[in-house]
Amino acid sequence: MALGDYVCSRCRSRTASAAQARAEWRRTDGGKRSIQRLNACRIMIGQVYHSFAASPEQAALINAHIKDRRHAFEQRQQDRKEAEGAAEG
């Protein structure tokens, strides 16, 4: 390997061959299973990724709690708008 061909470890994953290798791995059965396992542990707020839970069960509980709290907040906002609209009219 010539000195000019060196790619540091930080940049190595950005090369075209590295991207192609990742794409090939994702298409394998093992890659698909791994992605499903990781997605199950993600904590999401709406459609936005927030953080990672230790287990899929814990992530499901946290996501359900976030969804309930967000729904309650949106309901309070809607009720307040309706009350303000009734007071004006």
Residues 6+ apart with CB under 8 A from 51: 42, 43
Q: Can you tell me the distance from the alpha carbon of 55 to that of 50, in angstroms, rounded to the nearest whole number? A: 15
Could you give the CA distance from residue 67 to residue 61 in angstroms, rounded to a whole number?
10
Using CA atoms, how far apart are residues 74 and 69, in angstroms rounded to an integer? Answer: 9
Domain boundaries, the chain: 9-88
d(CA 84, CA 26): 52
pLDDT per position in the chain (89 positions), as tens?
566 778 888 888 888 889 999 999 999 999 999 999 999 999 999 899 999 999 999 999 999 999 999 999 999 999 999 998 877 76
Model's pTM, two decimal places? Answer: 0.65
